[in-house]
Amino acid sequence: MVKKLDKIPNDSETGVLTIERLRQTPGFPDEKDLENGLIAVIECDEDIPCNPCESICPNAAIKVGNPITNLPVLNFSKCSGCLKCLGICPGLCIFAINKNYNNDKSLIYIPYEYYPLPKKDMIVRALDRKGNYVCDAVVLKVLKPLKKQNSGLVGIIIPKEYFNIVRNFEF
């Protein structure tokens, strides 16, 4: 009897967006867009009728427009890193990254909808888009879900080389 289904030969990319695909979407920043502080990183590549990210952005940095199935276009220079879109996105597909948090670390905010929430300074296991362990991370900030910002958000510090790899964590 097998214990885990992920050991079965399978197209492991199923349901996982690749970096190559993400680079073709208008909400995913290039490396150079990520040089100047915290900004949103949108991993949305399907024509779903959905635009709360556009409505909630206080800086008009996200445009979906008409029709409502357009992919969100992020104007990286207008994004202030306020995190509002992360909290409202029904697809939980928006993250925020400060690539140059310090010399060798990046900061990534991840929408997190499990209880208990982690605590500040806790060491957690950072995971990639397939749920595989990448590295250890330190929790910097925990934002509880609020009425307006409807998911919990957790900021974790990771080695810089993993800023485009880490997208989840567990503890």
Position 86 contacts another protein (CB under 8 A): no
Position 65 contacts another protein (CB under 8 A): no
The distance of closest approach from Cβ of residue 87 to another protein in the complex, given in angstroms and rounded to an integer, is 8
**End-to-end CA gap in the chain:** 28
Position 92 contacts another protein (CB under 8 A): yes
Q: Are 141 and 120 in contact (CB under 8 A)?
A: yes
Figure out which of the listed residues 72, 129, 155, 158 binds another protein, where binding follows CB under 8 A: 129
Find the largest Cα–Cα distance for the chain: 54
Q: Are 140 and 158 in contact (CB under 8 A)?
A: no
In whole angstroms, give the CA distance from residue 121 to residue 39: 22
Position 165 contacts another protein (CB under 8 A): no
Position 49 contacts another protein (CB under 8 A): yes
Position 35 contacts another protein (CB under 8 A): no
For tokens 């867009």, the residue is 33
Figure out which of the listed residues 19, 23, 55, 171 binds another protein, where binding follows CB under 8 A: 55
Burial 136-151 (b: 16+ CB within 10 A, else e): ebbbbebbeeeeebeb
* Of residues 105, 96, 103, the one with CA closest to residue 74: 96
* Of residues 84, 11, 103, the one with CA closest to residue 42: 84
Position 19 contacts another protein (CB under 8 A): no
Position 122 contacts another protein (CB under 8 A): no
Q: Which stretch binds another protein (CB under 8 A): 5-13, 33-41, 75-83, 154-162?
A: 5-13
Q: Which stretch binds another protein (CB under 8 A): 32-40, 64-72, 73-81, 101-109?
A: 64-72
Which residues are registered as beta bridge partners of 105?
159
Position 60 contacts another protein (CB under 8 A): no
Instruction: List residues binding another protein (CB under 8 A).
Output: 1-6, 8, 10-11, 14-17, 43-52, 55-56, 67-69, 88-93, 113-114, 127-132, 150-151, 167-168, 170
